[in-house]
Amino acid sequence: MKTLRTFCLFCFGLLVLNPAFSQGEKRTAYTLKGGLAIGTQRWNAFSNRAPLFRYQGAVAVETADSDEFSIFSELGYHVRGSAVRYINLSAGATTNFLSQTFEFNNLSLSIGGKQKFGYRNAKAYYLIAIRGEYTLWTNLGKYEDQNNTYLFLPVEGLVRRFNYGVTVGGGFEWSFGELVGGVLEFSVSPDFSYQYRQPPLQNVPSPYQPGVYTDIPERQIRNLSFEISLGLRFLRIVEYID
């Protein structure tokens, strides 16, 4: 954890303090982007959940002095989670398609680097970043009535608010003019920490067999998200004159 803090402070210092020591021209890029988020989760080491399709958005600041490498910091909003989808066959041959979603609305801060390829007006790149997140709210409250009887679903009180992981990805940048351009980005964000952790529970009423009690093992939930983003990139140029 100490190494992680040191790296974050180093990258932040490069972004913020570098202009004070620059000579000549200084370039900084600001990006506003958003798009589709596909959330999955591992529950107790089993990835048997259906994907959750939601949205995400972010703003970023990036060094732009080099055509090949840059350091960036990004503040984002992401809906993490997963879903359960099933078919309910009722009397009269009626078919109902039902689903349950487990949503965690997270604020994230990422710091990392990009390696770029191509020409000045059109480039491809790949990126890697370390990421910390804070959970603002969830939708687990909608299952409170069910949990009062069965306690089979996650509960709000056991959500872990602070989480961390990495983001890796790649994308394309292109210019509309000298100061404005576009961005298309694909990324994967695995968490290293658990979004939710519940201790083992004994003698819990089964929702599937009335009158039957069962044991629930420890429940650990970890996020894995895939994102597609489209955005605008604004270039700021500052000239330093002696």
Q: Which is nearest to 171 in space by CA: 107, 224, 241, 233?
A: 233
Domain count, the chain: 1
For 141-177, the pLDDT digits (tens) are 988 877 666 566 788 989 999 999 999 999 999 999 8
| Domain membership of residue 15 as a residue range | 2-240
Query: 156 exposed, middle or buried (CB, 10 Å; 0-12, 13-18, 19+)?
Result: middle
CATH of the domain at 187: 2.40.160.20
Whole-structure pTM over 0.85, yes or no?
A: no
For 61-109, the pLDDT digits (tens) are 999 988 899 999 999 999 999 998 877 666 555 556 678 899 999 999 9
Q: How big is the CA angle at 98 (ends 95 and 103), to the nearest 5 degrees?
A: 170
